[in-house]
Structure 1
Amino acid sequence: MLSIVTPGQGSQTSGMYSTWITDTANKELIAKYSELIDLDLFHYGTSASQVEITATNIAQPLLTALAFMSFGRLEVNSNTNIIYSGHSVGEFSAASLAGFYTDEIAMKLVNTRGKAMAAAAASNSATGMSAVLGGDKAEVIKHIEQFDLVPANVNSNGQIVASGLLANLEKLSENPPVSTKVRKLEVAGAFHSQFMKSAESELEKEFAQVEVTNSKSNFISNKDGQTIKDSSDLKNRLITQITSPVRWDLCQAKMIELGVTGMLELAPAGVLTGIAKREMPGVELFAIKSPEDIPGAQAFIDKHAKITR
């Protein structure tokens, strides 16, 4: 069984579109997306600095478009043995691939989401995020909450991200959980916390204007690692995800439970397959980092999509 996953913020790198848009179809796709959301994706994907593309309102549509570019080069049949999932903003492209809505709708949603989260961060400037590396998962989460912080991302046993006020993050850094290191993240605000509440409202308005249908494919949700196919359930989960923890640990656990034998990470790949190396032993991994990886990715799909539990 195959899982296809899409990465979240932090995966973007300067110039990451350069090798992809030499393909005419990809170039036309980016031109369409740029016009659709009124954002020059060519500039941000080829010549913008790393600092520029770190801004959440830029990073989110930039990453989503690249996921679609890389997927578009592959031949994937509507196969019930394929599971889709994404990390944070990656859920939006993954949900499109699973059949809940079109790629154009996904681009509109993430554009609204990115702008709204940037605005929420600007109005709560004394907030941020820190990664807690190592330690026991349950103990780390308990320790984080003692400082009035929330576990925004629970990626694995040794990688949890805390979100909240900068003052509280500083206290966490000065008093880290046992056997851990705390590293401040260069982000604009406290994502996946109540400081993003205003962004939740904006995304809800955008969802009210687009068509979302039930999916026939399996989609694993960041909220609790459960598979969902109902459109109303999906909308609620994607809206509230902005203020809720990303439970990637539970997503990986569900993949293992369902009998996944291979995980394919769409471009710009590396982060999720890196986590999976530690958390999903025995599962074969493939990361699409450039167009040169497409033939290998196709063979990987053909191999694992045919395997049933």
Structure 2
Amino acid sequence: MTAAFTFPGQGSQAVGMGKALAEAFPQARAVFDEVDAALSQKLSALMWEGPEADLTLTANAQPALMAVSLAALRVLEAEAGLDLARDAAYVAGHSLGEYSALCAAGAFTIGDAARLLRIRGDAMQKAVPAGEGAMAALLGLEFEAAAAAAAEAAQGEVCQAANDNGGGQVVVSGSRAAVERACEIAKAKGARRALMLPVSAPFHCALMQPAADAMQEALAAIDIKAPVVPVVANVHAAAIQQPEMIRASLVAQVTGTVRWRECVAFMASHGVTTFYEVGAGKVLTGLVRRIAEGAEGVAIGTPDDVAAFKARPRG
């Protein structure tokens, strides 16, 4: 098998996402209904009608993005005969997308995934008082240089590499003043650009420890099954299938670096040549081309994308 199925993270949300799938396919509609029921909230109405500011809230964006990914996956299974156990070498997801990947591979139910992501989103938002944390994208520096800039900028505060996205794109996270210092240090080290990001909290850094504690408690109450396909975990950049290792990696992920560049490189080095991005947006598809030379990225999030997938030769 030469295909991997990947699932996007926060930032890919947009008002209207998933609506065309729900209108065209009952399997998609069923997923949105299941998520609405699990959360006792009409999240689907917020996704399709907005307002955008409410959809962007971490506690809404995380389960919403998972819902779109699983809706698209269920449609691929029904319409194109997709069987991950047969057709995928690996699954992986960027940050919250790891929950989508695990759910897709049968590690836990859609309802459990929705509830976990609501807890995760709430806990991440509450972990740091508004305005005290920040994130910034450093463009044009490789990971080691960006991580060094973050360490130099910390000066007793928290500042660390949060996302290694590949293609010379590294996101740093931590205390606002430290992140601002990291931007200046990165520019001095040759970064092409250093941009403060419009995020509501400093994700994937030590300041998120209260959220990691909340996830440890929440995940302890969930039945996790061995996924039918190995999951390439953010914090390991390697394939895992043991339920207890999955549980521990999801806790570690809250404060740890999303090693996406290494995750994609791992899959490519193990024979993956096509990366299907299932869900909203095309962020991961764009990153694939910068990480794995010669690999193909294919985004699947609309009825037209489903039709194109059905028409593709797969082997």
Above 0.5 in TM-score? yes
SS of the equivalent of 2:11 reads coil
Aligned-pair CA distance for 1:112: 1.2
Aligned-pair CA distance for 1:284: 1.9
The gaps in structure 1 that reach 5 residues or longer are none
1:131 aligns with 2:137: yes
Moved over 6 A (4+): none
Q: C-alpha distance in 1, partners of 2:305/2:114?
A: 24
Aligned-pair CA distance for 1:155: 0.7
SS of the equivalent of 1:79 reads helix
Alignment of 1:137-176 (within 5 A): 137-148=143-154, 149-175=159-185, 176=187
Q: C-alpha distance in 2, partners of 1:50/1:193?
A: 26
Indicate the residue corresponding to 1:6 in structure 2: 7
SS of the equivalent of 1:141 reads helix
Whether the aligned pair in 2 keeps the contact of 1:80 and 1:218 (CA below 8 Å) is no
Whether the aligned pair in 2 keeps the contact of 1:80 and 1:217 (CA below 8 Å) is no
More helix by share: 2
Q: C-alpha distance in 2, partners of 1:282/1:257?
A: 12
Alignment of 1:182-197 (within 5 A): 182-197=194-209
Check 1:295–1:234 CA distance in 2 against 1; reply closer, same or farther (3 A cut).
Answer: same
Q: Give the TM-score of the pair, scaled to structure 1.
A: 0.93
Q: Give the TM-score of the pair, scaled to structure 2.
A: 0.91
Q: C-alpha distance in 2, partners of 1:26/1:102?
A: 15
Aligned-pair CA distance for 1:81: 4.4
Check 1:281–1:81 CA distance in 2 against 1; reply closer, same or farther (3 A cut).
Answer: same
Of the candidates 46, 53, 56, which is equivalent to residue 55 of structure 2?
53
1:16 aligns with 2:17: yes
Q: C-alpha distance in 1, partners of 2:19/2:225?
A: 34
Root-mean-square deviation (CA, aligned residues, Å) is: 1.6
SS of the equivalent of 2:201 reads coil
1:215-273 superposed Cα distances (whole Å, 9 cap, x missing partner): 34121011121111100000000111001010001101111111002110011130001
Indicate the residue corresponding to 1:97 in structure 2: 104
Q: Size of the alignment, in residue pairs?
A: 302
SS of the equivalent of 2:82 reads coil
The gaps in structure 2 that reach 5 residues or longer are none
Alignment of 1:1-309 (within 5 A): 1-22=2-23, 23-74=25-76, 75-77=81-83, 78-79=85-86, 81-121=88-128, 123=129, 125-148=131-154, 149-175=159-185, 176=187, 177-300=189-312, 303=314, 306=315
